[in-house]
Amino acid sequence: MIFKRIQEDIDAIFERDPAARSRFEVWLCYSGLHALIVYRIAHGFWRREWFLIARFISQVGRLFTGVEIHPGATIGRRLVIDHGHGLVIGETSEIGENVTLYHGVTLGGIAPSVDSSRQKHTKRHPTLENDVIVGSGAQILGPIVIGNGARVGANAVVTKDVPAGVTATGVPAHVVMPKDRKQAGQFWAYGTPSDGCPDPILASVDGLRGQVSLLMERIEELEGRLQEQAEAAPDTQTDEADGEMRRSVIVGGGKRR
């Protein structure tokens, strides 16, 4: 069983990594694959409740690969760990099938050092469903769910659930969509569509900028009209004063007669 899983992992790497020239090269040179092999061995001991041996094997694997996978984590078939150095997968993490993780990714807890006694035997780490891609340096924290086919961009910090089929980027992460929605389920290196993503927050800001620009133009127009009226007002007042004087003269002259 374990050898069949390893063969599937090798095939998955060969399919998704254009740098892989042969399966033998993947077997010999890919630290992500080596980390998975060590994990699957350690996980077997963990399931038999040989916890100390399982942890020791996982630490040996970490020493040689730079990838730390807790033997208590649940990992599905055909996981690809690309590069992998600095990647951390916590004890209660759950990873589905056909998932891709890049280097520096953390599947961690929110506050493992706060009241740790109450956190034992509880779900503390995230769940990644099938076909998820997580870009390098992303931090996915807490017992949240990353839905089927979702993507997490590089260096994102995710603390809330991500729906299926969308891309989450930023700190804190928020959901964006590719310009072409048909591309939402495709494979994207580092979890970010190559043609860019319309950011709904930026779109809202751009809309507000447009409204502010229209308001500024309207204000300038009104200020111009007020200025014209202010400049025309003295002439009008002078004409009214001259007319009033003429009427006074005429009326006064008539009275003298």
pLDDT tens for 64-83 read: 999 999 999 999 888 999 88
Spatial contact of 80 and 16, defined as CB atoms under 8 Å apart: yes
What confidence score (pLDDT) does residue 117 get? 66
Residues 169 and 254 in one domain: no
Q: Does residue 81 share a domain with residue 66?
A: yes
Q: Which CATH number does the domain housing residue 9 bear?
A: 2.160.10.10
Whether 182 and 205 map to the same domain: the answer is no
Given a cut of 80, whether residue 155 has pLDDT beyond it is: yes
Hey, which residues does 127 pair with through a beta bridge?
A: 94, 145
Tell whether 160 and 118 lie within a shared domain.
Answer: yes
Question: Which range marks the domain in which residue 239 is found?
Answer: 199-257
- Out of 162, 183, 198, a domain closes at 198
Considering the chain, what is the average pLDDT of its residues? 80
Which of 156, 177, 198 corresponds to the end of one domain?
A: 198
CB under 8 A, 24+ apart: contacts of 191-198: 191/102, 191/133, 191/134, 191/135, 191/138, 191/151, 191/152, 191/153, 191/154, 191/156, 191/167, 192/135, 192/151, 192/153, 192/154, 192/167, 193/151, 193/167, 197/167, 197/169
Q: Are residues 106 and 178 in the same domain?
A: yes
Q: Do residues 217 and 91 share a domain?
A: no
State pLDDT tens for residues 73-111: 999 888 999 888 889 998 899 999 999 999 999 998 886
Within this chain, do residues 63 and 132 fall inside the same structural domain, yes or no?
A: yes
- Could you tell me the pTM of the whole model? 0.67
How would residue 11 be classed by pLDDT, with cut points 50, 70 and 90? confident
Asked if residue 58 and residue 152 are part of one domain, the reply reads yes
Q: What is the pLDDT of residue 7?
A: 83
Q: Is the confidence at residue 205, as pLDDT, over 70?
A: yes
Same domain, 11 and 32: yes
Q: Do residues 8 and 103 both lie within one domain?
A: yes
Pick from 198, 216, 245: which residue ends a domain?
Answer: 198
Token digits of residue 118: 């109450």
Q: Could you give the number of structural domains in the chain? A: 2
Cα separation of 67 and 26, whole Å?
Answer: 16
- Averaged over 115-120, what is the pLDDT? 68
Are 87 and 103 in contact, with CB atoms under 8 Å apart? yes
Q: Do 182 and 213 share a structural domain? A: no
Average pLDDT over residues 156-168: 88
Residue 35's pLDDT is 92
Kindly state whether residues 74 and 135 are assigned to the same domain.
Answer: yes
